Amino acid sequence: MIDAPAPAPGALGASWTAMPDASPLPEPAARRVLVAIPCYNEGLTIGSLVLKARAHADEVLVIDDGSIDDTAAIARLSGATVLVHERQKGKGAGVLDAMAYAREHGYAALVLLDGDGQHNPDEVPAVVAPILDAGADLVIGSRFLGTDAEIPAYRRLGQHVLNIFTNASADYSSTDSQSGFRALSRRALDAAETFVSDGYNVESDMIAYLSARNLTIAEVPISVRYEVPHRHKKNPITHGFGVLSNIAALIGARSPLLFFGVPGLVLIVVGAVIDTWALARFSATAQVPVLGALAGGLMTVAGLLLVGAAIVLKSVSMLLRHRR
């Protein structure tokens, strides 16, 4: 059983708000918790993470994503169950494996945390408490929610941009959409049986997927530290643009009229204005402003293509929704 102390009166409510349709409270016998740690080449940190996490979980699962160091061996010696990918598949695959394992073994809650040492396993009880004690389905550990975490300015800016786009693609407004420290209820695990994602897009994809199914999402404050051995395994700029492009695709599929139609109409209007100016100039001087006419024509054509794409995508989206 997980050792999750009861929150102080009023403390939990100040950190998060449960929606009215929260799932029923789990029975005491069904409060088994799995902590899962997807990781790659984290031999320097995985041992201490597993040992600390075991104090707050019924089982610790390490998903080794094809590491070339001794991550798997150290995790086993520390008492974790270890799943090993023969080749590197990305973080998304590790998270999906953890979710499948939790479903198959009947866990009431799954807690995910990163393997690089940025997250504190002693905060597992606080992250999982809204699920076990108040019926939440997805709990996000937020670095920006009432904490004094020393987060570098470039990270704050990048996270703010990703939050804006993630929130536009989902039915939930998150303060830390990219946090890897989060927990899922049994109901969320069952609802996500057909959930798919790839790489570091998994955090944003999960919020969009579960919020679209009207599951209860909450956030709690967590701490974070960036002075870890492998803090830049992936370039933060390329990582950010990769996640951002995936979120943009989600928004486009979710709201094609907004994402494609509105810019298309703007281009049509601007192109029409430029073409009108070009015609007026030709009438006054008998000379064709080639660059202006060309620019206006290209903008008009691009706008028409975007509007057409928006209409087609909206039609396909409505058709798929009716088929469900």
Is residue 195 predicted with pLDDT exceeding 60? yes
Higher pLDDT among residues 53 and 312, named by residue = 53
Boundary residue ending a domain (235, 252, 269): 252
pLDDT at 20: 42
In terms of domains, do 270 and 229 share one? no
Structure tokens at 204: 């944003």
What ranges in the chain are assigned the alpha helix state H? 11-15, 46-54, 71-77, 91-104, 124-134, 153-169, 186-191, 202-211, 236-254, 256, 262-285, 290-323
In terms of domains, do 275 and 128 share one? no
Is residue 320 predicted with pLDDT exceeding 60? no
In terms of domains, do 74 and 209 share one? yes
Boundary residue ending a domain (252, 281, 315): 252
Boundary residue ending a domain (252, 280, 297): 252
Read off the pLDDT of each residue in 109-123 and give the average, rounded to a whole number: 95
In terms of domains, do 246 and 281 share one? no
Read off the pLDDT of each residue in 168-189 and give the average, rounded to a whole number: 91
> Using CA atoms, how far apart are residues 97 and 85, in angstroms rounded to an integer?
10
- Tell me: the pLDDT tens digits for 275-303? 899 888 888 888 888 888 899 899 999 98
Q: What is the pTM of this model?
A: 0.68
In terms of domains, do 138 and 228 share one? yes
Structural domain for 241, as ranges: 11-252
Q: Do the bridges between strand 81-84 and strand 59-64 make them parallel or antiparallel, or are there none, so unpaired?
A: parallel
Structure tokens at 71: 């991550």
Higher pLDDT among residues 172 and 13, named by residue = 172
- The C-alpha torsion from 75 through 76 and 81 to 86, rounded to 10°, is 80
Is 6 a domain residue? no
Is 5 a domain residue? no
Higher pLDDT among residues 149 and 215, named by residue = 215
- Most confident range, picked from 127-141, 143-157, 282-296: 127-141
Is 156 a domain residue? yes
pLDDT at 229: 63
DSSP characters over 272-322? HHHHHHHHHHHHHHS---HHHHHHHHHHHHHHHHHHHHHHHHHHHHHHHHH
Is residue 131 predicted with pLDDT exceeding 50? yes
How is residue 259 annotated by DSSP?
I
- Tell me: the pLDDT tens digits for 57-66? 999 999 999 9
Lowest mean pLDDT: which of 85-94, 186-195, 266-275, 279-288?
279-288
Is 38 a domain residue? yes
In terms of domains, do 211 and 308 share one? no
pLDDT at 162: 78
Is 166 a domain residue? yes
Is 3 a domain residue? no
In terms of domains, do 312 and 176 share one? no
Lowest mean pLDDT: which of 117-121, 198-202, 229-233?
229-233
Lowest mean pLDDT: which of 70-74, 137-141, 196-200, 225-229?
225-229
Is 247 a domain residue? yes
Is residue 239 predicted with pLDDT exceeding 60? no
Count of the separate structural domains present in the chain: 2
In terms of domains, do 142 and 263 share one? no
In terms of domains, do 237 and 264 share one? no
- The fraction of the chain above a pLDDT of 70, given in percent, is 76
pLDDT tier for residue 262 given thresholds of 50, 70 and 90: confident
In terms of domains, do 262 and 231 share one? no
In terms of domains, do 149 and 281 share one? no
- Burial classification of residue 323, based on how many CB atoms lie within 10 Å of its CB (0-12 exposed, 13-18 middle, 19 or more buried): exposed
Read off the pLDDT of each residue in 291-318 and give the average, rounded to a whole number: 82
Higher pLDDT among residues 22 and 160, named by residue = 160
Q: How many CB atoms lie within 10 A of CB 299?
A: 20
- The fraction of the chain above a pLDDT of 90, given in percent, is 51
- Tell me: the pLDDT tens digits for 9-22? 333 333 444 444 44
> Using CA atoms, how far apart are residues 28 and 210, in angstroms rounded to an integer?
25
Read off the pLDDT of each residue in 146-159 and give the average, rounded to a whole number: 70
Domain containing residue 17: CATH number = 3.90.550.10
Read off the pLDDT of each residue in 41-66 and give the average, rounded to a whole number: 96
Is residue 165 predicted with pLDDT exceeding 80? no
- Most confident range, picked from 21-35, 182-196, 248-262: 182-196
In terms of domains, do 51 and 93 share one? yes
> Using CA atoms, how far apart are residues 29 and 105, in angstroms rounded to an integer?
14
> Using CA atoms, how far apart are residues 89 and 198, in angstroms rounded to an integer?
9
Q: Are 132 and 4 in contact (CB under 8 A)?
A: yes
